[in-house]
Amino acid sequence: MTRAACAALLSHWRRHPGQCLTLILGLALATALWSGVQAINAEARASYDRAAAVLGQDQLDRLTREDGLPIPLAEYIALRRAGYLVSPVIEVELSDPGARLRLLGIDPLTTPPEAQAPALVGGEISFEAFVTTPGRLLVASETAARPLPPDLPPLVVTSGLAPGTALTDIATAARLSGRSDPSYLLVAPVQPSGLPPLAEATDLTLSTPQSGSDIGRLTDSFHLNLTAFGLLAFAVGLFIVHAAIGLAFEQRRTSFRTLRALGLPIRRLVTLLAVELTAFALIAGLIGIILGYIVAAALLPGVAGTLRGLYGAEISGQLAFRPVWAVTGMGIALIGTAAASVQALMRVARLPLLAPAQPRAWAMASGQAMRGQMMFAIGLFALAFLLGAFGTGLIAGFACLAALLVGAALALPSLLTALLRLATRFATTPFREWLLADTRQQLPGLSMALMALLLALAANIGVSTMVGSFRGTFTGWLDQRLASELYVTARTPSEAAAIRAALRPRTDAVLPIVSAPVTLAGQPAELYGIADHATYRDNWPLLAAAPDVWAQVAAGEAALINEQLSRRERLAIGDPVTLQPGWTLPIAGVYSDYGNPVGQAIIGLDLFTDRFPDVPQLRMAVRVPPDRVPAVVDALRAEFDLPAANLIDQEEIKRFSLRIFEQTFLVTGALNILTLGVASLALLASLLTLAGMRLPQLAPIWALGQTRAALARAELARTAILAFLTFALAIPVGLALAWVLLAVVNVEAFGWRLPMQMFPVDWLRLGLYALLAALLAAAWPAWRLANIAPSTLLKVFAHER
């Protein structure tokens, strides 16, 4: 009996291979998007952990100076000679515009074993080569493959290092960076017996490793973002699965009844169906994981670019297969299938043995259920409003987004019904009136697919509005911020002086750019000194300012801080900001500083050189009429033999910055398009389901004299109407989404708030896409209707199936 039942159930899929394909495709796509996003996140986390584990930073205490400056060599030696087991590290960043490399110089003779420095004795790396000139740089294979600063010692490719980081001997790091004082000291966990506690022996700050890396915390928001997108894609994918399972169960209703009548126990039937669905889930899950891997591998370089651009976080551009996300991907495929099919299975379980088939019964959701949905949706809107208005933190932001989207999806059927009812009043012919009424009547069957479409469209509008607003603000900001025409970096202080002297007669102004690392509000930050010049007064993008802000800064009486710092620490104009221990200035202005993850402050140049006399003035911004830039560049290049990287004009920096920006949102765009594709598939699956069941409704119209072609056109028109209405409703939802993204999520994730801009042309294009997608989805069912055998329609009257 079981075997016969199996054969009967499976024969359905043989006869409907398209349906089988839809089901598997839907499930596979949903799993693919979800597990792809998870794979990217897993890869990024692994990269952060690797970076955090370099030199045992995840478990070793460290000694640093409170002001963030290097520790004098003598202070390190004094600690060693007092008996403490501390080990010096010189950490510097070698950078020119095209290449960046973080250099970690260690002293392998004193590095604690817990730092897990690569084995230098008995390993493939020669200790002598490592510690003697020119030294060696240990790097990951992908670091070796990318462009690097010039004149480096020989590279040795080693596993276990984060990309963009080179491990080397402290002497090599000292030579390449020109400084010999350690950046910080690693503290061995076991100190010799009989010594006073280390904290009592030094003024340096002892910091214990924190759980989770800094960069991991910084990028949490980005990964949460990705996860939210993955979840959205998965939810949309589930609509397809739901529709496909609904269709398959509906069409097999007669088989179920026959099998039951032949004596198959209901429990066994349900079990068989569950087994069948599980098999589908496993196959589709496997395909999904493979697809997910492909999606992730394709997107990862973009994500890596994003993270590097936004946070300076280095992640590997190569995807490793990690069982964790594969297993979770399979799990989510199974859970998703269960969620999508539970309703259908319950219906089968309750199927009355001898009752006549009621093909339309399940689709006829009662008005009461719709009202319930609407009430729930209103509740969610209220929640979204409260979260948006009063919530704090990234989680609240995303919860607000979720409430908004789910509420909109739940409200959709009621809203569409209302709109269609309204439209009926303006119907001029009975056929049109029937069309609208019939559309309304079909809504419950299509609502799932339409909800999916709404989610996809709203997400698309929301995210593209956010990205568009960001791009608009960002380009405007770049124009302000990069007011100088030319940026020059000298190699030595004397060369800098010579360049300044050479430039002065040929240009309008030469403005030095100097900076020093400082600690602002307990976090690493950058302090800049700027000259008193119209370039800043006229262009600098201030968000808030005291009346005489530039005079105060020039006089060394006040500082400017960036928006990130201002928001994070809730600092406003007039508040004091501590730039170094015991050195505090009032804040005279807050400026926007997009694309920079850390805090920043600006003071007058004179005050800066007073405080940091040792910081060399190597960089300078040059004001020169744009048409004379090439001449000045050529002259400087000829006179000082400066490398290309040390002479950059404004246009080049802008191009570079915009490229980073575009890269940043590459992934978002790709996920957007994929989501829309998935939603279209859901629509197709739902329409196919309905097409099979709707013959009893269509047959009378046909019998009344409408041609099959006219009916098919009506089908297309109906789908177009629904898609258009859904799109129209998606616009306000999408804009609300964009507002939450800009005003809540962005502020939490990046520390800046952006003004919202509208892009109606983009909406129009998206509307056309949606219409096109809906028509494509409706085309096949409509074509089938146009070519249906009249006898099939007649049969509706002959027997009630």
Q: Which is nearer to another protein, 202 or 719 (CB)?
A: 202
Residues 773, 777, 782, 784, CA torsion sign: positive
Stretch that binds another protein, among 173-181, 233-241, 525-533, 698-706 (CB under 8 A): 173-181
Q: Which is nearer to another protein, 109 or 364 (CB)?
A: 109
Q: Please select the residue that binds another protein; options are 69, 129, 339, 786, rule is CB under 8 A.
A: 129
Cα 736 from Cα 732, distance rounded (Å): 6
Residues in 68-107 at the binding interface with another protein, rule: CB under 8 A:
73-74, 77, 80-83, 85, 107
Cα 496 from Cα 490, distance rounded (Å): 5
Q: Please select the residue that binds another protein; options are 3, 14, 128, 356, rule is CB under 8 A.
A: 128
Q: Rounded to the nearest whole angstrom, what is the least distance from the CB of residue 177 to another protein in the complex?
A: 11
CA angle, residues 223, 467, 724, in degrees to nearest 5: 105
Q: Please select the residue that binds another protein; options are 109, 262, 386, 709, rule is CB under 8 A.
A: 109
Stretch that binds another protein, among 121-129, 245-253, 573-581, 611-619 (CB under 8 A): 121-129
Stretch that binds another protein, among 122-130, 288-296, 473-481, 776-784 (CB under 8 A): 122-130
Report if residue 169 touches another protein, rule: CB under 8 A. yes
Q: What is the phi/psi pair of residue 137, to 5°?
A: -110, 120
Q: Rounded to the nearest whole angstrom, what is the least distance from the CB of residue 102 to another protein in the complex?
A: 19
Q: Please select the residue that binds another protein; options are 69, 99, 110, 517, rule is CB under 8 A.
A: 110
Q: Which is nearer to another protein, 74 or 354 (CB)?
A: 74
CA proximity to 549, closest of 517, 588, 503: 588
Evaluate whether 734 touches 465 at the Cβ level (below 8 Å): yes
Which runs of consecutive H residues, i.e. helices, occur in 166-213?
Answer: 170-177, 198-201
**Single-letter code of the amino acid located at 145:** A
Site size with another protein, rule: CB under 8 A = 31
Report if residue 180 touches another protein, rule: CB under 8 A. yes
Q: What is the phi/psi pair of residue 374, to 5°?
A: -65, -45
Q: Rounded to the nearest whole angstrom, what is the least distance from the CB of residue 613 to another protein in the complex?
A: 23
Only one residue has tokens 């990964």, namely 223
Stretch that binds another protein, among 119-127, 136-144, 557-565, 791-799 (CB under 8 A): 119-127
Q: Please select the residue that binds another protein; options are 11, 126, 254, 494, rule is CB under 8 A.
A: 126
Q: Which is nearer to another protein, 171 or 427 (CB)?
A: 171
Residues 180, 185, 190, 196, CA torsion sign: positive
Q: Rounded to the nearest whole angstrom, what is the least distance from the CB of residue 106 to another protein in the complex?
A: 11
Report if residue 170 touches another protein, rule: CB under 8 A. yes
Any bridge partners for residue 576, and if so which? 586
Q: Rounded to the nearest whole angstrom, what is the least distance from the CB of residue 71 to another protein in the complex?
A: 13
Cα 125 from Cα 157, distance rounded (Å): 10
Q: Rounded to the nearest whole angstrom, what is the least distance from the CB of residue 159 to another protein in the complex?
A: 22
Cα 47 from Cα 57, distance rounded (Å): 14
Q: Which is nearer to another protein, 194 or 522 (CB)?
A: 194
* Tally of CA atoms within 13 A in the half-sphere of 123 that contains its CB: 16
Report if residue 121 touches another protein, rule: CB under 8 A. yes
Cα 232 from Cα 674, distance rounded (Å): 11
Stretch that binds another protein, among 165-173, 254-262, 659-667, 766-774 (CB under 8 A): 165-173
Cα 138 from Cα 131, distance rounded (Å): 12
Evaluate whether 687 touches 446 at the Cβ level (below 8 Å): yes
Report if residue 127 touches another protein, rule: CB under 8 A. yes
Estimate the share of the chain in helix, then strand, then coil, as percent rounded to the nearest 5: 65, 15, 25
Residues in 182-201 at the binding interface with another protein, rule: CB under 8 A:
190-195
Q: Rounded to the nearest whole angstrom, what is the least distance from the CB of residue 105 to another protein in the complex?
A: 8
- Reduced to 3 states, what is the DSSP secondary structure of residue 724? helix
H or E, element range at 518:
strand 509-520
- Cα separation of the two ends of the chain: 25
Report if residue 132 touches another protein, rule: CB under 8 A. yes
Cα 8 from Cα 352, distance rounded (Å): 19
Residues in 410-439 at the binding interface with another protein, rule: CB under 8 A:
none
Cα 716 from Cα 689, distance rounded (Å): 15
Report if residue 113 touches another protein, rule: CB under 8 A. no
Q: Please select the residue that binds another protein; options are 157, 171, 286, 415, rule is CB under 8 A.
A: 171
Q: Rounded to the nearest whole angstrom, what is the least distance from the CB of residue 156 to another protein in the complex?
A: 14
Cα 349 from Cα 343, distance rounded (Å): 10
Residues that bind another protein (CB under 8 A): 73-74, 77, 80-83, 85, 107, 109-110, 121, 126-129, 131-133, 169-171, 174-175, 180, 190-195
